[in-house]
Chains A and B, each alone.
Chain A
Amino acid sequence: MYRYDEFDQKIVDERVTQFRGQVARRLSGELTEDEFKPLRLMNGLYLQLHAYMLRVAIPYGTLSSRQLRMLAHIARKYDKDYAHFTTRQNLQYNWPKLADVPDILADLATVEMHAIQTSGNCIRNVTSDHFAGAAADEVDDPRIWSEIIRQWSTFHPEFSYLPRKFKIAVPAAPKDRAAIKVHDIGIIIRRDASNALAFDVYVGGGQGRTPYVGHLIGEGIAAGDLLAYLEATMRVYNQHGRRDNIYKARIKILVHQIGAEEMRRQVAAEFAEIKTQGALALPQAEINRIKTYFADPPFDVLHDETALLAAQKKQSKAFAAWHDINVAQHKASGYAIVTISLKPIGGIPGDASADQMDLVANLAERLSFDEIRVSHEQNLVLAHVRQRDLFDLWQQLDKAGLATANYGLITDIIACPGLDYCDLANARSINIAQAVSKRFADLDRQRDIGELKMKISGCINACGHHHVGNIGILGVDKKGVEYYQITLGGSGDETTSIGEILGPAFGEAEVPDAIEKLVDTYLGLRQSGERFLDTYRRVGIQPFREKLYAAH
């Protein structure tokens, strides 16, 4: 994975010193909270319902064991022994003290980490495919390009006061595991007819109160021109994005208002000029320098352990289930990709204790080339595990409550922190995730239901991605009472679709029954081999609506 050179390190170190000064000015009263707000927000520090919240960047979701141990250390030393992994592959501490934050950032800087641009109206942490470097279907490691974009966008002087926040996602496989079409910019890396890398740039996707699927604006951009094209897109947005209404300020609204064709024309004009100036052309030497950091780890030449695994699965039914559900195929034979679920039945999606983080760090060091991934689905991934080590790994995880076999199933729920923490929320999310998880705790039942992506947001900002949930739940406030609106048919993969609202919202206690009715309706309608989403797309919303509201 990428390692800082002296320049990367100095940028982060200078930032720590700068923020220490800003906090000192705030604590001395030289800065009012109003004046301090934009400064702390540029550094991922929010003021939540009960306390400050610090959001730490995990660029494209990749961590070393040393980094994960530092995150655990910070949770113990400055917080309440746990932290929360988010849908943007970041990590949040919910209880830091303002006076401690400069020290936390200094600790992070010792392991090449920071909280730069994890909030504010700037280009946020770049996200990517959590199976990068391990998936058989990718054309290049997308983290090379994510890192190049991370550097270009860090402290970009022109784009730090955009109309609104800006999110970029970069996968490099036909299977979209990064939900790119609901990002401000989603980039798909592919190979063109001459086998050169080509970048398809989708612009204007997003969730929030007006969800849109992104449009293909830049097609087949050459590798060396990638930054020039992104700068052109950002400049068009910075000039013309709306600033009169924060709900209409995202680039998706601009694209929707002027149309994809006009957006394409404006970006092309800027692009032509930036390209002519040449300063942003990416030198091949720099691409190569970054590429070397993402070379394959030294895989052993192995054969698939079919017989061994079959025997182990026979020995333990629990291991067999976990293997079937949480282990994915690796590009190298004899290896496997392991998803560590952070969704124990009845637990809080995405939370991990300091001890669990330490354990995963140790296991990654021993069994997965010292590398951990954070997925946007709020799980952890060990991307390069020898098949022969899987049983050992599973036993270690199981002891720590980290072997829940539910990847992609109905209890693998995405949920935002909701009203338990967030001052934007209208309703709690965690309570609903816990209740649904308990209702569907039975693993055989979950497996019978099959892939079902359930996503919960506590407000219309949609941090819990409910618009792209096969079943999405949105918390709303009706005269001080929490209600939950259900959408169906959303999807965040390469067939991205926005979910459709079923009907009137449900009270907290009614939600598990409602979900159960929807699932039963699907089970009654499904044809052989269909997932929930497939059945929904075949039959539409009406049968679900009829079943759900029949009794009302």
Chain B
Amino acid sequence: MPLIKHNAFVENTFAHVADDEALPDGPIVVSLKRWQAERETLAARNAPLGVRLSSDQSPEALGADVSHFALIELEFPKFRDGRGYSWARILRQRLGFTGEVRAVGDVLRDQWLFMSRCGVDAFEVRPGTRLEDFRAALAEQTVFYQPASDRIRNVLDLRQSRTRAAAE
């Protein structure tokens, strides 16, 4: 699957390792179950590590362990399953995760923007996806009422600035 990160196509350097597969060298992604079973071994490896969370797995299961990961993948089994949006916000805000949060699975064009607002910064996309469509989808809305996990200034901030500017 093609991968878009920070508005550009990038190569996926991580290899997925099944639970019963031997650990290869280089960057890998494992399941939460494997991380929990082989935490010491995996943490001792000298290569970037990722974990894949299914949509019913809260990142709170990782707790302070998030610091071990360069990548956390959030699975969207069906586009209607919106738990990942909360997982992304919990990762960014509660657990302070600063690595890559990647959305994988059944994700629609019209969901990229909201995911991005929740803290997802990398997207597996359908083959054939054009970068200009991705950029256009993210630019369809530019004004937001509520704070989220992005750094966009929301309407409350903008209104306060307007009030201050008017007072000066």
Contacts and interface: CB of A to CB of B under 8 A. Distances in A.
A239 B58 contact: yes
A316 interface: no
B143 A7 contact: yes
Interface residues of B, number: 34
B141 A15 contact: yes
A157 B117 contact: yes
Interface in A48-71: none
A442 interface: no
Interface in B106-153: 108, 110-111, 113-115, 117-118, 140-148
A10 interface: yes
Contacts of B160: 283, 285-286
A152 B86 contact: no
A160 B158 CA distance: 23
Nearest to A5: B159
A495 interface: no
Given A11-B143, A239-B58, A161 B148 contact: no
Nearest to A11: B143
A161 B140 contact: no
B142 A14 contact: yes
B114 A160 contact: yes
A273 B140 contact: no
B143 A152 contact: no
Contacts of A286: 156, 159-160
A151 B142 contact: no
A157 B148 contact: yes
B98 interface: no
Contacts, number: 100
A121 B79 CA distance: 12
Given A7-B155, A158-B85, A158-B86, A14 B108 contact: no
A30 to B, nearest CB: 10
Contacts of B34: none
A277 interface: yes
Contacts of A35: 108
B89 A280 contact: no
A139 interface: no
Nearest to B76: A161
Given A39-B110, A161-B81, A17 B140 contact: yes
Nearest to A8: B155
A238 B155 contact: no
B83 interface: yes
A273 B86 CA distance: 14
Interface of B: 58, 79-83, 85-86, 89, 93-94, 108, 110-111, 113-115, 117-118, 140-148, 155-156, 158-160, 163
7 contacts: A7-B143, A14-B141, A39-B110, A157-B148, A160-B82, A161-B79, A286-B156
Given A11-B144, A155-B144, A279-B147, 8 more contacts: A38-B80, A157-B85, A158-B118, A160-B85, A273-B94, A280-B146, A285-B159, A286-B160
